[in-house]
Amino acid sequence: MTQTRGKRRTALVLGAGGLVGGAWETGVLYGLADAGVDAASADLIIGSSAGAVVAARLAAGKSSIAELYEGELDGSAPAEPPARLGALTILRYAVAVLTSRTPEEYGRKLGRLALGAATVDEAARRATVGRRLDPVTRWPDRPLLISSVDALNGELAAYDADSGVPLVDAVTASCAIPGLWPPATLDGRRRIDGGVHSTANAHLAAGYERVVVIAPNASGNNVVLSPARQGAALAAAGARVEVITPDRASKQALGRNSLDPSHRAPAARAGRAQAAAHAPAVAALWAQ
């Protein structure tokens, strides 16, 4: 994993959750900004899957958080056609997690699923992700980590500006949902969705003093650790941590299919509303 240089005080972690989860994250960030908390000012931003898209656009600074939020509401933000994992694929996910003992073993099993699935062409998928990132095409000057999982060995890696991997390729890999989108090729390795290892990958913020985790998917188990458990581990190591996952209203707004673009606006609004409850804690964290 490439090491990001610079200050190691504050980190913002943006987790996996599909197009709809990314809209919710954007709403939370805008709601925090409404309350005077600029979470995007973190010394390091970490993104996985949908969170990778939000993280890259946020870190690049070519659009304000208000503009990103409005894009979710009016549909001007780059999107994708509706998609859904099939019942058989979901079953294979369940079997994989039940028969795995480590995130790496789970990653290998989903990697085999991804490598054998009939999907769109890899180049076409990269072009779609490029449109979602537009106008961001290059790594920003500020520290940014984008996660993905090796389809063969199941290991997590995080890429940054020093990795030599183009930003669009790193984000395409991070968003490569097994069984739905093709694995992306980075440095000759086939890589899949960063959310396979965990829905937040908050452990990548180890060593930072203060960490805010915004995770649309709060789930976890003995193999894939939840954002709450990862946050607790960071706290046990001495960090101050605030973990934000969807409340009841946000869960309802997110809906059952995180890949349905019609839920983006409701999810963004719900995230903005929920942020008010977390703003005092995040403000206290960032003020240290």
User: Count of CB atoms within 10 A of residue 155's CB?
Assistant: 15
What letter would DSSP give residue 13?
Answer: E
Is residue 4 within 8 Å of 145, Cβ to Cβ? yes
| Spatial CB neighbours of 286, under 8 Å, sequence gap ≥ 6 | 10, 37, 38, 39, 41, 210, 212
Q: Please give the single-letter amino acid code of residue 90.
A: I
258 included as an active-site residue? no
Is residue 211 within 8 Å of 202, Cβ to Cβ? yes
User: What are the two backbone dihedrals, phi and then psi, of residue 12, each rounded to the nearest 5 degrees?
Assistant: -115, 125
Nearest Cα to Cα of residue 150 among 121, 205, 199, 188: 188
Nearest Cα to Cα of residue 243 among 2, 13, 56: 13
Q: What is the dihedral of CA 106, 18, 21, 68, to 10 degrees?
A: 140
Instruction: Select which of 48, 49, 147, 258 is catalytic.
Output: 49
Instruction: Select which of 150, 160, 169, 193 is catalytic.
Output: 193
CA distance 222 to 219: 11
CA distance 85 to 197: 18
CA distance 285 to 281: 6
Q: What is the dihedral of CA 93, 256, 249, 246, to 10 degrees?
A: 20
41 included as an active-site residue? no
* Residues annotated as part of the active site: 49, 193
